[in-house]
Amino acid sequence: MNVELARVEGKQVKNLRTIAGAFAAFLSILVMSAPASAHSQGESYVFFSITDDSLTGRFEAILSDIDRMLPIDANGDGEISEGEFTAKTPEIFDFFDARFGITNDGQALTITPDGSGILDTPQGQFGQISFIVNGLTSVPETLEVAYQPLIDADTPNHGGYGVIENNTRTGVVDNEAHIALFFKADGGAETLSTISDPWHKIFVEFVWQGVLHIWFGFDHVLFLITLLLPAVLMRQSNAWEPVSEFRDGLWNVVKIATVFTVSHSVTLSLAALGIVTLPVTLVEAIIAVSIAVVAFGNMFPIWHHRVLLIVFIFGLFHGFGFANVLEPLGLVPSAKVVGLLAFNIGVELGQIAIILVLFPILYLIRTWTAYPFLALKMGSVAIIIMAGIWIVERTAPTFWKYQQQLFAMVG
Q: What is the DSSP string of 98-119?
A: HTEEEEETTEEEPEEEEEEEEE
pLDDT of residue 25 exceeding 60, the answer is no
**221 and 282 share one domain:** yes
pLDDT of residue 403 exceeding 90, the answer is no
Establish if 187 belongs to a structural domain.
yes
3-class secondary-structure state, position 141 = coil
pLDDT of residue 265 exceeding 70, the answer is yes
Establish if 51 belongs to a structural domain.
yes
Q: What's the whole-number mean pLDDT along residues 287-291?
A: 91
pLDDT of residue 196 exceeding 90, the answer is no
pLDDT in tens, 341-352: 888 888 889 889
The residue among 196, 230, 261 that closes a domain is 196
pLDDT of residue 24 exceeding 70, the answer is no
Establish if 11 belongs to a structural domain.
no
**Sign (positive/negative) of CA torsion 392, 398, 402, 407?**
positive
Number of domains the chain is built from? 2
pLDDT of residue 117 exceeding 90, the answer is yes
pLDDT of residue 13 exceeding 50, the answer is no
Q: What's the whole-number mean pLDDT along residues 49-75?
A: 92
**146 and 229 share one domain:** no
C-alpha–C-alpha distance, residues 55 and 180, integer Å = 15
Q: What's the whole-number mean pLDDT along residues 67-93?
A: 90
pLDDT of residue 406 exceeding 90, the answer is no
**294 and 166 share one domain:** no
C-alpha–C-alpha distance, residues 291 and 297, integer Å = 10
pLDDT of residue 77 exceeding 80, the answer is yes
**134 and 209 share one domain:** no
Per-residue confidence (pLDDT) for residue 342, from 0 to 100: 87
**90 and 110 share one domain:** yes
**Mean pLDDT across the chain:** 82
**184 and 218 share one domain:** no
Establish if 250 belongs to a structural domain.
yes
C-alpha–C-alpha distance, residues 88 and 285, integer Å = 37
The residue among 196, 224, 249 that closes a domain is 196
C-alpha–C-alpha distance, residues 175 and 49, integer Å = 10
List the beta strands (DSSP E) in 105-178: 107-109, 111-121, 124-133, 142-147, 159-167
C-alpha–C-alpha distance, residues 43 and 193, integer Å = 22
Per-residue confidence (pLDDT) for residue 176, from 0 to 100: 80
Per-residue confidence (pLDDT) for residue 381, from 0 to 100: 92
pLDDT of residue 1 exceeding 80, the answer is no
**115 and 214 share one domain:** no
Query: Long-range pairs for 363-367 at CB < 8 Å and ≥24 separation?
Result: 363/232, 363/243, 363/246, 363/249, 366/232, 366/233, 366/242, 366/243, 366/249, 367/242
**175 and 309 share one domain:** no
**169 and 233 share one domain:** no
Split at pLDDT 50, 70, 90, the class of 306 is confident
pTM: 0.56
CB 145 within 8 A of CB 46: yes
**309 and 266 share one domain:** yes
**109 and 167 share one domain:** yes
Split at pLDDT 50, 70, 90, the class of 328 is low
**294 and 324 share one domain:** yes
Which H/E stretch holds residue 89?
helix 89-98
Per-residue confidence (pLDDT) for residue 330, from 0 to 100: 53
The residue among 165, 196, 227 that closes a domain is 196
Establish if 15 belongs to a structural domain.
no
Establish if 395 belongs to a structural domain.
yes
Split at pLDDT 50, 70, 90, the class of 239 is confident
C-alpha–C-alpha distance, residues 369 and 301, integer Å = 18
List the beta strands (DSSP E) in 188-282: 189-193, 233-236, 239-242
Q: Which domain holds residue 147?
A: 43-196
Split at pLDDT 50, 70, 90, the class of 199 is confident
Establish if 258 belongs to a structural domain.
yes
What's the number of CA atoms in the CB half-sphere (13 Å) around residue 298?
Answer: 31
Per-residue confidence (pLDDT) for residue 23, from 0 to 100: 40
Establish if 241 belongs to a structural domain.
yes
